[in-house]
Each structure stands twice: as structure tokens, then as C-alpha cells.
């Protein structure tokens, strides 16, 4: 099976090439030429399997140029008891009769990004052995907080690989910043940039698609790749957990084979919810994809109006990993919904970059309406939801998950739709202890570690050790890079003269 670019569908590559390259040379994103299917028989069989076994089945369908044993080796190296603090890897928590919270944060960095970034380095190693000429791989990452740490942890000391992360100086939580600044490993580099996530992402994309820089790297025996969700290797492992969650619902007899579910996802770059869309297209019975935004409600407005308009104020919220105005992965959805109309997608993306907005056709809008529901949740509602979930059910959620819970509750109240629903829980609450504690008690100490201690007392939940241990780690990275100088910063760290 081949992968094609969303901006030129005749540009076709293998999955190994798609993963090695990260983004297509024409600035498009790689998508599978055909979406493989999953049958009810397979789902029925998978219900009694482990997460690792379920992942093998799903990934083999997409990574057709990998051998079966290569896929199995990647999967079993990633989802281990050592790395994940829960034996089910991605357990479902029954919140109420309909809502099932899919906890995706039991990995090493306590956010859902680990689900993909623990396996991506293995996929990358196999891919480069197939599609590359032994160049050193330089992974560039733009992060709104969680991808950076998860990528650093995944790729640290990976052979023949360097990784360089850019995060918005004032756009991440204290814990997120500390997690990155204290990163260990001999091949890692971390920069704060003066700007927001969109600036970081645009900067990284510009470096990737600049032929001069690519040539310069090639001369030095190096090659760029991406660990952001623009890389197909980031998305495909995320398809697995939606299918796995369906199997868990089957196993617990909350649903019967073939029953439909809804999926709610707190959304930023549109990667996580897009993975759910692919699961649906494979044949997983999903009725509605519920897209939840925080105060940066660019996606909510888009799903309501069909106009994507980034010309608006950018808010720094208590759910910083969703503070994004340019959701990259929407491009993949539009490619599918427009009937793979690459030239139209290209036009829309170019007008987004040039004019700041685009409007989709009536036909695409109709398809969006059939598949998606969208809603947003402001700062006050986020805090109220954290408090409500804890008071009513004793269940502690982080700020991002709270956004999804609120949008889901609103949807259920407004429509009366009682379909069993999976809500993606994307971070452990102790990643954002100040915001979570403040939601519960109205006030919070200024020190995040004190907040964690207090949260532990109040909620009787454990502080994950990777976060508790941060206190004693040495800060290694303090550099701030000007947004215009990102290319220069990278080349300097690689010792490449211009």
C-alpha cells in the first residue's frame, strides 16, 4: 500500500518513506492511498487480546512494507510494563452509564503523546533502514507542551538520531517546561521560542520544506524528520487505542458487536481526533466524532460555519496543549472529504497561510456535518468541570480532559443521545497541578510541587513518579531562540556552517 501527498496525490511513497520524511516536499501531508478495513469478526476476536496484540493487528494493516516481525518488534518494545504504569496500557474508566474515559496518560511522560512517541522511534529505525542511506536523522519538533517531552523521552539516545525541540516560552505549564528543560540524553536539544505554538510549528515546517537547508544537511550526512503529528508514524499508533477501547467495551458487555459508539476528543492540532476518524473509516462503528476545543475555538467555529479563520486573538489557557490556531491535520480530513481533491486542498491551505482563512465547499461541509459535532469550553467551565467530576464521581481529570467532558455533557444534554461514548483523557492531572487544585479549592500555592502534594492529600490519588522526581533534576536547557532564528539555532547545534 502506498501513501500519497494531500497536495499532489500522484506523489506516492511507501510507509517507510512517509515516516522517514515526515512531511512531503510539496508541503502536503502523507495519507494512506486506501484506508484498510477492520471486520466485526476481527473486532470480536480482538476483544480477548492484549493491547500489544491488538496493536499488531492494526499496525500491520497500515505498514505493509514492514515485515510482520518488524511490526511486532516495534510494538513489543514500545508498550511494556516498564514504560507504562498500567497493565492495560490504555484502560477505560467507566465514568457514568454512557461516558467511558480512555486514560491515555499512563506512559513515561504522563500525556497521551506517549502512546505514539514510545513507538515512533522504533518505527523510524525500521523505516530509515528501508528508505534512507544511513544519514543521521535530525528530528525537529514544535510542541505546545506534551509532544516535546514525549518525543525527547522516546528518542533519547536513539542511535544515529538527534532531536531538537522548540516550545513557546510562555505557553506551557511549569511541569511541562521542567520536564523538557531537565531532559537527559546525549542527542537532545531544547529551545524556548518567543512566540506561540503556531509560530513554532510554522518555523519547523519552513525548515523542513526549505530545499537549501535540506541540501546543506545532505552534504553533512544528515536528514530532517518530524515527530509532530504531521508525521504519519505519529497518527497510526493512535488509531489502535480507539479500536482497543471498542474491544474493551465489547468485553465488558457494555455494547454488543456492531453497536455504535461516540468518541469525544480534546483537540488542538487535530491529530488525535483524526486517528478516531481513520478508525471509523476502517469500519469501527462510530456514530459521532465530537471535537472539543478550549477558548481557542477556531475548530468549533469551523465546524459550525465551514469557514476556517485563524485571524483572531490567541488565548493562553489552562489547557495549553490545545492552544493552537492552525490545526495541521485538518488538511488530511479535507483531502478525504473533498474526494481526494489535491488541488483544492492546496488552494485552501495556501489561502490559510496567505489570507488567514478559507471556506470549504457545500459538499465538504455536508460531510463534516454528518461525521462531526463540535463544541468549546471556556476557562471558567473548565474549572467547574474538574470540580464537578471530582465532587460527583470522585474522579480527577486534568484541564484538557475537562474540556472534552464539558463538551460531551453539553452534547448529551442538548441531543439526548445516550450512545455509549469514549472520551479521550489526554493528560494526567498532576501535569497541571496548579490549575486542577485551583478548580477544586479556589486557591493554589505558587509552587507546583506544593500544589501536587495538596492535590494528593485532597484526591488520594498517586503523584506519578516521573513528575514527582522532577524536583531533584538538574535544568540542562535554558536557551531562548528568536522565532526568526530557528533555522540558525538548529544548524549551530549541528555544527553546520552556512
Ligand X SMILES: *Cc1c(COP(=O)(O)O)cnc(C)c1O
Are 33 and 2 contacting, i.e. CB atoms less than 8 angstroms apart?
yes
Nearer to ligand X, 164 or 274 (CB): 274
Nearest distance in Å: CB 443, ligand X: 24
Report the distance separating Cα 293 and Cα 98, nearest Å.
21
Task: Kindly give, in sequence order, each residue whose CB lies less than 8 Å from that of residue 387, ignoring residues fewer than 6 positions away.
Answer: 439, 440
Phi, psi dihedral angles at 118 (to 5 degrees): -80, -30
Number of residues counted as binding ligand X (CB under 6 A)? 16
106 near ligand X, judged by CB under 6 A: no
Phi, psi dihedral angles at 337 (to 5 degrees): -70, -25
Q: Which value, to the nearest 10 degrees, does the dihedral of the CA atoms of residues 260, 266, 268, 269 take? A: -30
| Site stretch for ligand X (CB under 6 A), options 26-34, 46-54, 159-167, 267-275 | 267-275
Q: Vertex 169, ends 467 and 238: CA angle to 5°?
A: 55
Report the distance separating Cα 404 and Cα 292, nearest Å.
5
Site for ligand X in 344-403 (CB under 6 A): 400
Distances, alpha carbon 316 to alpha carbons 65, 295, 324, 328, in Å: 42, 9, 9, 19
Nearest distance in Å: CB 343, ligand X: 26
Site for ligand X in 12-41 (CB under 6 A): none
Nearest distance in Å: CB 149, ligand X: 9
| Site stretch for ligand X (CB under 6 A), options 13-21, 265-273, 364-372, 454-462 | 265-273
| Site stretch for ligand X (CB under 6 A), options 29-37, 87-95, 199-207, 261-269 | 261-269
Nearer to ligand X, 201 or 341 (CB): 201
Nearest distance in Å: CB 362, ligand X: 26
229 near ligand X, judged by CB under 6 A: yes
Distances, alpha carbon 82 to alpha carbons 26, 77, 112, 237, 378, in Å: 40, 10, 17, 19, 37
Q: How many CB atoms lie within 10 A of CB 468?
A: 15
Nearer to ligand X, 42 or 168 (CB): 168
Name the strands in the sheet holding 99-103, side by side, starting at the edge strand that comes first in the sequence.
Answer: 92-94, 99-103, 421-425, 261-266, 286-293, 372-376
Name the strands in the sheet holding 8-13, side by side, starting at the edge strand that comes first in the sequence.
Answer: 8-13, 3-5, 30-32
> Can you tell me whether residue 321 is helix, strand or coil?
helix
Nearest distance in Å: CB 387, ligand X: 19
Report the distance separating Cα 276 and Cα 467, nearest Å.
29
Nearer to ligand X, 128 or 201 (CB): 201
Q: Which of 158, 322, 371, 455 binds ligand X (CB under 6 A)?
A: 322
Nearest distance in Å: CB 322, ligand X: 5
Q: Which of 127, 321, 385, 435 binds ligand X (CB under 6 A)?
A: 321
267 near ligand X, judged by CB under 6 A: yes
270 near ligand X, judged by CB under 6 A: yes
Nearest distance in Å: CB 252, ligand X: 26
180 near ligand X, judged by CB under 6 A: no
111 near ligand X, judged by CB under 6 A: yes
107 near ligand X, judged by CB under 6 A: no
268 near ligand X, judged by CB under 6 A: yes
114 near ligand X, judged by CB under 6 A: no
> Can you tell me whether residue 328 is helix, strand or coil?
coil
Residues 426-445, mask of contacts with ligand X (x by CB under 6 A): xx------------------
For binding to ligand X (CB under 6 A), which residues are involved?
Answer: 111, 113, 146, 229, 266-272, 321-322, 400, 426-427
Amino acid at each position: 500500500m502506498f501513501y500519497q501527498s494531500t497536495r499532489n496525490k500522484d506523489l506516492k511513497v511507501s510507509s517507510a518513506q512517509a515516516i522517514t520524511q515526515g512531511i512531503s516536499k510539496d508541503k502536503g501531508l502523507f495519507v494512506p492511498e486506501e484506508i484498510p478495513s477492520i471486520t466485526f469478526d476481527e473486532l470480536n476476536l480482538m476483544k480477548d487480546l492484549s493491547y500489544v496484540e491488538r496493536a499488531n493487528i492494526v499496525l500491520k494493516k497500515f505498514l505493509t512494507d514492514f515485515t510482520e516481525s518488524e511490526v511486532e518488534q516495534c510494538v513489543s518494545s514500545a508498550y511494556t510494563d516498564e514504560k507504562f504504569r498500567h497493565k492495560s496500557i490504555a484502560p477505560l474508566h467507566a465514568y457514568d452509564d454512557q461516558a467511558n474515559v480512555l486514560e491515555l496518560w499512563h506512559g513515561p511522560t504522563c500525556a497521551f503523546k506517549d502512546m505514539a512517541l514510545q513507538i515512533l522511534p522504533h518505527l523510524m529505525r525500521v523505516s530509515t533502514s528501508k528508505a534512507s542511506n544511513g544519514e543521521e536523522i535530525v528530528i525537529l519538533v514544535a510542541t505546545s507542551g506534551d509532544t516535546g517531552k514525549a518525543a525527547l523521552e522516546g528518542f533519547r539516545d536513539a542511535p544515529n538520531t538527534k532531536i531538537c525541540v522548540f516550545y513557546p516560552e510562555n505557553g506551557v505549564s511549569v511541569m511541562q517546561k521542567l520536564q523538557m528543560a531537565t531532559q537527559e540524553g546525549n542527542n537532545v536539544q531544547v529551545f524556548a521560542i518567543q512566540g506561540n505554538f503556531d509560530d513554532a510549528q510554522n518555523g519547523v515546517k519552513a525548515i523542513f520544506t526549505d530545499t537549501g537547508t535540506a541540501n546543506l544537511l545532505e552534504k553533512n550526512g544528515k536528514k530532517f524528520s518530524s515527530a509532530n503529528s504531521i508525521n504519519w508514524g505519529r497518527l497510526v499508533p493512535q488509531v489502535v487505542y480507539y479500536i482497543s477501547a471498542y474491544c474493551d467495551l465489547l468485553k465488558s458487555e457494555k455494547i454488543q458487536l456492531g453497536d455504535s459508539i461516540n468518541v469525544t476528543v480534546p483537540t488542538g492540532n487535530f491529530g488525535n481526533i483524526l486517528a478516531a476518524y481513520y478508525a471509523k473509516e476502517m469500519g469501527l462503528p462510530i456514530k459521532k466524532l465530537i471535537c472539543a476545543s478550549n477558548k481557542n475555538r477556531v475548530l468549533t467555529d469551523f465546524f459550525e460555519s465551514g469557514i476556517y479563520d485563524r485571524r483572531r486573538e490567541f488565548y493562553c489557557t489552562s489547557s495549553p496543549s490545545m492552544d493552537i490556531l492552525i490545526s495541521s491535520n485538518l488538511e488530511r480530513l479535507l483531502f478525504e472529504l473533498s474526494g481526494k481533491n489535491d488541488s483544492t486542498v492546496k488552494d485552501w491551505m495556501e489561502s490559510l497561510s496567505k489570507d488567514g482563512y478559507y471556506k470549504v465547499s457545500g459538499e465538504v461541509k455536508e460531510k463534516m456535518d454528518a461525521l462531526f459535532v463540535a463544541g468549546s469550553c471556556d476557562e471558567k467551565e473548565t474549572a467547574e468541570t474538574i470540580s464537578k467530576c471530582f465532587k460527583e464521581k470522585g474522579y480527577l481529570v486534568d484541564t484538557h480532559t475537562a474540556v472534552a467532558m464539558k463538551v460531551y455533557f453539553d452534547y448529551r444534554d442538548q441531543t439526548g443521545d445516550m450512545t455509549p461514548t469514549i472520551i479521550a483523557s489526554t493528560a494526567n492531572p498532576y501535569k497541571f497541578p496548579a490549575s486542577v487544585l485551583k478548580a477544586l479549592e479556589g486557591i493554589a500555592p505558587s509552587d507546583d510541587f506544593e500544589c501536587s502534594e495538596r492535590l494528593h492529600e485532597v484526591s488520594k490519588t498517586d503523584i506519578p513518579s516521573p513528575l514527582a522526581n522532577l524536583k531533584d533534576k538538574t535544568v540542562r536547557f535554558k536557551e531562548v531562540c528568536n522565532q526568526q532564528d530557528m533555522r540558525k539555532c538548529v544548524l549551530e547545534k549541528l555544527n553546520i556552517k552556512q
